[in-house]
Structure 1
Amino acid sequence: MPPAFDWLIVGAGFAGSVLAERLAAERGDSVLLIDRRPHVGGNAYDRLDAAGVLIHQYGPHIFHTNSEQIFDYLSRFTRWRPYEHRVLAKVDGMLVPIPINLDTVNKLYGLNLTSEQLEGWLAARAEPVDEIRTSEDVVVSKVGRELYEKFFCGYTRKQWGVDPSQLDKSVTARVPTRTNQDDRYFGDAFQAMPAEGFTRMFERMLDHPNITKRLGVDYADLKDEGLARRIIFTGLVDEYFGYRFGKLPYRSLRFDHRTLDQEQFQPVAVVNYPMSEDYTRITEYKHLTGQKHPKTSITYEYPQAEGDPYYPVPRPENAELYKRYEALAMSTPDVWFVGRLATYRYYNMDQVVGQALATFRRIEQAVPRTGAGEAALAPAAS
Structure 2
Amino acid sequence: MYDYLIAGCGFAGAVLAERLANAGKSILIVDKREHIAGNTYDYYNNEGILVHKYGPHIFHTNSEEIFTYLSKFTSWRAYEHRVLASVEGQLLPIPINLTTINRLYGKRLTSQDLGSFLDGMAEKRKPVLTSEDVVVNAVGKDLYEKFFRGYTQKQWGLDPSELDASVTARVPTRTNTDDRYFTDEFQAMPKHGYTELFKKMLSHANIHIMLQADYRDLIATVPHRRLIYTGPIDAYFDYCYGKLPYRSIDFQFETMDLDCYQETGTINYPTSNLYTRITEFKYLTGQSHKKTTVVFEYPKSEGDPYYPIPRKENQDLYNRYKELAEMQKDVFFTGRLGTYKYYNMDQVVAQSLTLFKKIAKEDDWEG
Is the Cα contact below 8 Å between 2:30 and 2:215 reproduced in 1?
A: yes
The equivalent of 2:19 in structure 1 is: 22
- Alpha-carbon offset, residue 366 of structure 1: 1.3
- Alpha-carbon offset, residue 370 of structure 1: 10
Aligned-partner residue type, residue 115 of structure 1: S
The equivalent of 1:103 in structure 2 is: 99
The equivalent of 1:6 in structure 2 is: 3
Distance (whole Å) between structure 2 residues aligned to residue 303 and residue 58 of structure 1: 12
The 3-state SS of whatever aligns with 2:260 is coil
Distance (whole Å) between structure 2 residues aligned to residue 269 and residue 220 of structure 1: 40
Structure 1 residue 242 and structure 2 residue 238: aligned? yes
- Structure 1 residues 86 and 369, CA, compared in 2 at 3 Å: closer, same or farther? same
Structure 1 residue 273 and structure 2 residue 269: aligned? yes
Structure 1 residue 211 and structure 2 residue 207: aligned? yes
Structure 1 residue 136 and structure 2 residue 109: aligned? no
**Per-residue Cα deviation, 1:274-310 (whole angstroms, up to 9, x for no partner):** 0100000000000000000000000000000000000
**Per-residue Cα deviation, 1:304-352 (whole angstroms, up to 9, x for no partner):** 0000000001111100000000001111110110000000000000000
Name structure 2 gaps, 5 residues minimum.
none
Is the Cα contact below 8 Å between 2:335 and 2:351 reproduced in 1?
A: yes
The equivalent of 1:64 in structure 2 is: 60
The equivalent of 2:253 in structure 1 is: 257
Distance (whole Å) between structure 1 residues aligned to residue 165 and residue 336 of structure 2: 18
The equivalent of 1:351 in structure 2 is: 347
The 3-state SS of whatever aligns with 2:219 is coil
Aligned-partner residue type, residue 257 of structure 1: F
Is the Cα contact below 8 Å between 2:360 and 2:366 reproduced in 1?
A: no
Structure 1 residue 297 and structure 2 residue 312: aligned? no
- Alpha-carbon offset, residue 227 of structure 1: 2.5
User: Out of 181, 194, 197, which is 1:198 matched to?
Assistant: 194
User: Out of 354, 357, 364, which is 1:361 matched to?
Assistant: 357
User: 1:45-64 counterparts in 2 under 5 A?
Assistant: 45-64=41-60
Distance (whole Å) between structure 2 residues aligned to residue 227 and residue 368 of structure 1: 23
The equivalent of 2:159 in structure 1 is: 163
Distance (whole Å) between structure 2 residues aligned to residue 211 and residue 107 of structure 1: 54
Is the Cα contact below 8 Å between 2:40 and 2:52 reproduced in 1?
A: yes
Distance (whole Å) between structure 2 residues aligned to residue 232 and residue 93 of structure 1: 49
The equivalent of 2:223 in structure 1 is: 227
Structure 1 residue 154 and structure 2 residue 154: aligned? no
Aligned-partner residue type, residue 12 of structure 1: C
Distance (whole Å) between structure 2 residues aligned to residue 51 and residue 21 of structure 1: 33
Name structure 1 gaps, 5 residues minimum.
372-382
The equivalent of 2:335 in structure 1 is: 339
Distance (whole Å) between structure 1 residues aligned to residue 191 and residue 223 of structure 2: 36
The equivalent of 1:379 in structure 2 is: none
**Identity percentage of aligned residues:** 59
Moved over 6 A (4+): none
- Alpha-carbon offset, residue 218 of structure 1: 1.2
Distance (whole Å) between structure 2 residues aligned to residue 370 and residue 182 of structure 1: 44
Structure 1 residue 174 and structure 2 residue 167: aligned? no
Aligned-partner residue type, residue 190 of structure 2: P
Distance (whole Å) between structure 2 residues aligned to residue 168 and residue 262 of structure 1: 41
Structure 1 residue 115 and structure 2 residue 146: aligned? no
Distance (whole Å) between structure 2 residues aligned to residue 130 and residue 285 of structure 1: 41
Over aligned residue pairs, what C-alpha RMSD do you find?
Answer: 1.0
**Per-residue Cα deviation, 1:30-74 (whole angstroms, up to 9, x for no partner):** 000000111111000000001000000000000000000000000
The 3-state SS of whatever aligns with 1:175 is coil
Distance (whole Å) between structure 2 residues aligned to residue 279 and residue 223 of structure 1: 40
Aligned-partner residue type, residue 24 of structure 1: A
- Structure 1 residues 370 and 132, CA, compared in 2 at 3 Å: closer, same or farther? closer
Distance (whole Å) between structure 1 residues aligned to residue 162 and residue 357 of structure 2: 37
The equivalent of 2:141 in structure 1 is: 145
The equivalent of 1:374 in structure 2 is: none
- Alpha-carbon offset, residue 369 of structure 1: 4.2
**Per-residue Cα deviation, 1:154-186 (whole angstroms, up to 9, x for no partner):** 000000001000000000000000010000000
Aligned-partner residue type, residue 129 of structure 2: R
Distance (whole Å) between structure 2 residues aligned to residue 50 and residue 225 of structure 1: 39
The 3-state SS of whatever aligns with 1:157 is helix
Distance (whole Å) between structure 2 residues aligned to residue 141 and residue 300 of structure 1: 31
